[in-house]
Amino acid sequence: MMKRAWGMFQGVVANVFVALFSITCIFPIIWMIYSSLKTDKEFSLNILSLPAKPEFGNYSRAITEGRIGSYFMNSMFNTLSALVVVLVISFITGYCISRFRFKGRTFIYYMFLSGMLIPIYALLIPIFVEFKTLGLLNKKFTLILPYIAFALPTGVFLVESSVESVPIEVEEAACIDGSSFLNTMFRIVMPMCKPVLSTVAILTFLHTWNEFPLALVLIRSNALKTMPIGLTNFVGSYTVNYPLMLAALVVSTLPVVIMYLLFYNQIMKGMTAGAVKG
């Protein structure tokens, strides 16, 4: 009886701990949303209180005065462009490394893995010098190139692990039925890798959407700045308009939250599939 009571007590304590931890994760988002509806005076008097009257004008001011709309579209263009290229190259490369045995295969695979270990800050100066020499600074596609390069190692690693778990007999049966190589690769194997491809898509989206240092170093034109850089416009030399900045943060965070909620299950399945090699 005592053992059962102790087990129930442990379960209650664990659930309470998880609930409190969940609240600490959710509250900052809730606070950011209702604080973005305050006036600057209300926020200065009490940062935790609810707004007396919702000030939705903060969002229109953030879009017009802070040019958040332009920065949003720049970030979306960079993110979606990098996302499509990363998904295609990751799948093709991961499939080839998993299925074919050729000279240099192991070297190529470990070269991709080593890319996961290199911090972005260590490459800021070399990338800036290289882009300046090649005349690639302040272009529409400037940020897409490094975004693809930094996202590929993780994508190739996850896809290679996922393809390795797909039985080769599936492809052999498709070949016997008359399916071409490309048809088998993209219409049979690729759908079976959907969970891990969804994970690659989410990770790439999060990385490129929130990326700050490369956007700060490689882009100088105000017309090409991204959301993380655009948020700094709300910070003055001596003052910060927090409600406006929080309204811009809500706009910036919304795509990430929506994608995470839509593909939460795929993320969990993909990470599990990529974590263990078959």
Rounded to an integer, the average pLDDT of 25-30 is: 85
Q: Quick check: is 32 in a domain?
A: no
Per residue in 74-90, pLDDT tens? 999 999 999 999 999 99
- CA-to-CA distance for 142 and 215, rounded, in angstroms? 9
Structural domain including 177 reads 66-275
Rounded to an integer, the average pLDDT of 30-51 is: 88
Asked if pLDDT for residue 19 goes beyond 90, the answer is no
Asked if pLDDT for residue 14 goes beyond 50, the answer is yes
- CA-to-CA distance for 39 and 220, rounded, in angstroms? 32
Contacts with 158 (C-beta within 8 Å, 6 or more apart), sequence order? 90, 94, 196, 199, 200, 270, 273, 274
Rounded to an integer, the average pLDDT of 167-186 is: 88
Question: Residue 277's pLDDT is what?
Answer: 45
Question: Residue 1's pLDDT is what?
Answer: 60
Question: Residue 73's pLDDT is what?
Answer: 93
Angle at the Cα of 64 (from 60 to 65), degrees rounded to 5? 110
| Angle subtended by helix axes 68-99 and 242-262, to nearest 10 | 30
pLDDT band for position 269 (cuts 50, 70, 90): low
Q: Quick check: is 19 in a domain?
A: no
More confident residue, 6 or 230: 230
Q: Determine which of 39-53, 209-223, 224-238 has the lowest per-residue pLDDT on average.
A: 224-238
Question: Residue 44's pLDDT is what?
Answer: 86
Q: Quick check: is 78 in a domain?
A: yes
Average pLDDT over the chain, rounded to an integer: 86
Domain count, the chain: 1
Per residue in 253-262, pLDDT tens? 888 888 877 7
Question: Residue 238's pLDDT is what?
Answer: 59
Q: Quick check: is 265 in a domain?
A: yes
Asked if pLDDT for residue 38 goes beyond 60, the answer is yes
Q: Side chain identity at 272, as an amino acid letter? A: T
CATH of the domain at 133: 1.10.3720.10
pLDDT band for position 274 (cuts 50, 70, 90): very low
Cβ atoms of 118 and 151 closer than 8 Å: no
Asked if pLDDT for residue 195 goes beyond 80, the answer is yes
Q: Quick check: is 162 in a domain?
A: yes
| pTM tops 0.85, yes or no | no
Q: Quick check: is 145 in a domain?
A: yes
Rounded to an integer, the average pLDDT of 179-203 is: 89
Q: Quick check: is 261 in a domain?
A: yes
Q: Quick one: tokens of 228? A: 């993380």
Q: Which residue from 54, 68, 49 is spatially nearest to 253, judged by alpha carbons?
A: 68
Angle at the Cα of 104 (from 98 to 109), degrees rounded to 5? 45
Question: Residue 272's pLDDT is what?
Answer: 58
Give the position of tokens 């994608």. 259
Q: Quick check: is 51 in a domain?
A: no
Per residue in 99-141, pLDDT tens? 888 888 889 998 988 888 888 888 899 999 999 999 999 999 9
